Amino acid sequence: MGFTIALILLSIAWYLLDRYFLSYWKRNGFKQLEPSFLLGNSRKMLTQSESFYEIFDEFYYKSKGQKFIGMYNLYKPSLLVTDPQMIHDIFIKDFGYFHDHSIEFDTDNDPLSGFLFSLTGQKWRDLRVKLSPTFTSGKLRWMFPVMKQSSEVLVDFIQKGVDNKNPVFGFGELFRRYNANLISSVAFGIDNDCINNPDNDFFIYGLKNFDNSFRNVVRQFLFTFMPKLMNIFKIKFAPQDVDDFFMKIVHEIVDYREKNNFSRNDFMDLLIQLKNQGYVSADKEIPDVDDDDEMETIENETEQKKLMKLTFNELAAQAFVFFLAAFETNSASMTFCLTELARNPKIQKKVQDEMDEVFATQDVTYESVNKLKYLECCMLESLRKYPPVPILSRECTKDYKIPNTDLVIRKGTDIKIPIMSLHRDSEIYENPHDFIPERFLDSPTGNSKLDDQKSAIFYSPFGDGPRHCIGMRMAKVSAKLSIATLLSKFTFCLEDERLHHEEIKFDKKSFPLRPDHDIKLRAKVRKN
């Protein structure tokens, strides 16, 4: 009898605490999405019944008419922001209140987690100043020949398949192999041919980091929504064997280059410069006038020299995340783009006509690839439909009073921005599910009617403001190069005809956006 009464009292107390924690937003004057008992608004995320994009898209449309609305990741309050003006304020105008992502790792316990994206406050700022010179247009020109070699290996691989009567390729895996090959060369200085050798360690450990094992799914959920628990339970950002492999390989590369005074035009050279002298000198050539990072580099070179040198662990963390970003997000973006071109043969032909014209008088160089404006529009449109990360995050770093209201976002509050839902909103983009590269011919946002709204953000596949993706330019150049090289030799069509009239479905277990299966395309050699 006593046990029953205690159980009843405990249940009542638990219920009351649940109602208290899940009324945080109401108690602070905000509207909120209706939470579920114990789970808040995380039920579908935990059951993986829908992709992360679909879950947040449902939240987006439930909150239509609201600029922001409260929600809960289990018991953790988050604010869903859907208003383009407020998104601009968070990313740019009021950046000083939102300068961190909602994550911070214990880098002493987990050195490879000390990459730029995860750092906060002054640590982030110092490392950002150090790393900015490594991604300028001048440095990309410097690395372009190494990148080009990987694209040529990819073309040769497909040509062999066509010659051997095997013209159908799963491009999800193939682009992962291509990017593992490219980044192991550009970032680590290792030529290991992951394209022809899928048993290569770089490719194998890249797969291990992103497979849908139970441990990885839990790790990904905690990283995205409850990162502080990772520190409490000493959960590392990467599986232990992946962590061990990359720490070992970076040690070997750095030791060899320093002992033998060996250099190569690659990302690792730049990181070693940061380790040994604390800065990378600005490029000698005149920077591109629209190259904001390069102009910032020149202005801040003196400031860079005052900073501490990069530690070995910091160097390893940047090389590691550079590999992972290319392996997963860039591979998925390239797959989506090439699939859309295969779905739209007239658009594919228009891209090829542009390439034929440009490459008729020029070799494939950094400059000539950047002249492919229609291909650029295709990539921008693909990034609109399929941004690499469908939900962007920030953390409120000091109490913030929302303009024109009496509401205050408290320090430590997690901010979620469903950017993919904005990209696919019919009130922002006409026929948002159609692939229309012409949207971007004369408009940086894909909608010329919105271009004069400088204080609002509608299109943001790489984030915006000071914390935009530092590797954005590198990702775009490598993707343009690979697709341009492929389309100069081949025409692609869908192996599964259903994709002509069905939307691509997304992996329900992956936070970075990727298809739920390996999309297969058929390659046909172009006639001269």
The encoded tokens of residue 259 equal 């002992």
Question: Among 286, 287, 284, 257, which residue's Cα sits nearest to residue 272?
Answer: 257
Sequence-ordered alpha helix ranges (H) in 301-344: 301-306, 312-325, 331-343
d(CA 110, CA 253): 20
Identify which of 264, 329, 265 has the alpha carbon closest to the alpha carbon of residue 476.
329
CA distances from 78 to 29, 126, 165, 395 (A): 14, 28, 53, 9
Q: Residue 377, annotated ligand binder?
A: no
d(CA 392, CA 387): 10
| Token output for 298 | 């020149």
Contact 524, 487 (CB under 8 A): no
Distances (CA, A) of 486 to 150, 157, 159, 272: 12, 11, 10, 33
What is the rounded CA–CA span in Å between residue 131 and residue 318? 9
- Under a CB-based contact definition with an 8 Å cutoff, are residues 379 and 476 in contact? yes
Which residues make Cβ contacts (< 8 Å) with residue 514, sequence separation at least 6? 172, 328, 332, 335, 506, 507
- Alpha helices for 89-164 (secondary structure H): 121-131, 137-163
Classify 65 in phi/psi space as left (phi over 0), alpha (psi -120 to 50) or beta. Answer: left
Binding-site residue positions: 469
Q: Which residues are annotated as a binding site for heme?
A: 469
